[in-house]
A = this chain, B = another copy of it.
Amino acid sequence: METVDTATIPAARREPPPFRLDEDEEINPAFVDAVSDAVGAGDRGRVSLLVEDLHQADVGTLLEALEPEERPQLIELLGRDFDFSALTEVDDAVREEILEELETETVAEGVRDLDSDDAVYILEDLTDADQAEILQHLPAVERVALQRALDYPEDSAGRLMQTEFIAVPPFWTVGQTIDFMRETEELPDTFYEIFVVDPGIRLLGSVPLDKLLRSKRPVRISGIMLDEPDQVEATDQQEDVARRFQRYNLVSAAVIDEAGRLVGVITIDDVVDVIEEEADAEIKALGGVKPDEELSDNVWEIARGRFTWLLVNLLTAILASAVIGLFEKSLEKMVALAVLMPIVASMGGNAGTQSMTVAVRALATRNLGRGNVRRIVGREILVGLINGVAFALVMGVVAVVWFGLPSLGPVIGLALIVTLTSAAFGGIVIPVLLDRFEVDPAVASGPFVTTITDVVGFFAFLGIATLWFGLG
């Protein structure tokens, strides 16, 4: 018999918390339930115990796993123990919902403790009025810094940067610099280089931390600084910044304004998020899904977003059907054509998608440019032709055996050669042209390529059949 009086044990300690992550590093449903129960009971002690030391990324996952109404409750219960950087790890829709529910003071308080890049990330999707209200609760220094970052255009380097950095004059020594850093309380959370500036805060150079550590104390900063530090402009597109980081293996880069003044620093962890977002947007665009569709969106938002794409597709499908309509007589005379025609169109569609995928990828990674576009287009056409011939042989035999009609072989074979070659051509040329006219090829190529492959596929097959068999 147990004789312990559970009432004497503080509620928070009564049962051991379940494992928070399972073996796949996914969040454990039993843990989510435990948090949910504690939040429901308003048991601050138990909630604290449960989420204590949990990494902000996992707190984000936890928030998403909770019921919508529990999320702000959890944050209010934790109070000062809640690290607002967890909010940078949740879907936009979830974050907006949470921020709407929280008291302005709570948000202002939470945002103040963050590095400015995280604060901007949390504030930027709010309405101007909400932003102003929260900023108003902040001390002047933080307010000005955040306001300046928010004034830069969306998706610019200025939005991504952190305004906390260390800048020293060139005439300081390594020793002075190290002592300064030892004595200063308010340093950025993490940093990989310090900057060298003139009295007008114009960027003169940078010193990576490892270089600083390896230099002797009396050495002057001007003697060890890199004269051409990695830098981007605050108005640069985040996408271009990410490409620079990737191309030159950067870990951090200075951000300067139009006047060449140092205004912030961008670090690789923010860039990794941009890279991931870019890839995400590209994959979704190619699949006909809006780049900003998120798992937490509701059914109506999602259905409406996808409707647009399907409507565009319906128009191309109707166009293809109109082509078939031209050959109604042939189809009436020879129903085998109706059975076989989707094969031609489908093969064309897939071959076109292959070329298009390669083109969109190469454009996104800047591997396809004026220098090699001719060679790549030529190569794609050749690949289309080779596979066209290959499948002409395969499908020619299949069609003859299937319908016992020898002349169906050359007809479907010829149609496949024409269709696969055009598909390859369209698949590579359309994205290149769209890119040249500054239309995102990942978003817009699909419908054009499909139209070409469907129209050419049906027209070639039914047209050749009509001529060959004299069905006109």
Contact = CB atoms under 8 A, between A and B. Distances in A.
Contacts of A74: none
A213 B215 contact: no
Q: Is the interface of A mostly helix, strand, loop or mixed?
A: helix
Contact of A268 (B187, B272, B311): B272
Most chain B CB neighbours (cut-off 10 Å) among A286, A316, A350: A350
Contacts of A361: 280, 283-284
A387 B26 CA distance: 33
A268 B245 CA distance: 11
A299 interface: yes
A454 B342 contact: yes
A471 to B, nearest CB: 12
A368 to B, nearest CB: 7
Contact of A251 (B246, B269, B279, B370): B269
Given A57-B249, A269-B249, A182 B216 contact: yes
Contacts of A161: none
Contacts of A8: none
Given A210-B209, A331-B331, A347-B314, A286 B57 contact: no
A310 B279 contact: no
A325 interface: yes
Interface string A73-92: 00000000000000000000
A26 B210 contact: no
Contacts of A386: 299-300, 303
Interface string A270-296: 011101100110111011110001010
Interface string A363-395: 001111111100010010011001100110011
A197 to B, nearest CB: 19
Interface in A337-372: 338-343, 345-347, 350-351, 353-354, 356-358, 360-362, 365-372
A134 interface: no
B350 A309 contact: yes
A125 interface: no
A328 interface: yes
Nearest to A212: B213
Given A57-B247, A299-B379, A325-B339, 14 more contacts: A24-B369, A25-B366, A29-B370, A57-B249, A65-B372, A178-B213, A209-B210, A212-B213, A275-B276, A295-B362, A306-B354, A306-B387, A310-B354, A332-B332
Interface of A: 24-27, 29, 32, 55, 57, 65, 178, 181-182, 187, 190-192, 208-210, 212-216, 245-251, 268-269, 271-273, 275-276, 279-280, 282-284, 286-289, 293, 295, 299-300, 302-303, 306-307, 309-311, 313-314, 316-318, 320-321, 324-325, 328, 331-332, 335, 338-343, 345-347, 350-351, 353-354, 356-358, 360-362, 365-372, 376, 379, 382-383, 386-387, 390-391, 394-395, 398, 450, 454, 458
10 contacts: A57-B247, A209-B210, A282-B283, A283-B360, A286-B287, A295-B368, A303-B382, A306-B351, A321-B340, A332-B335
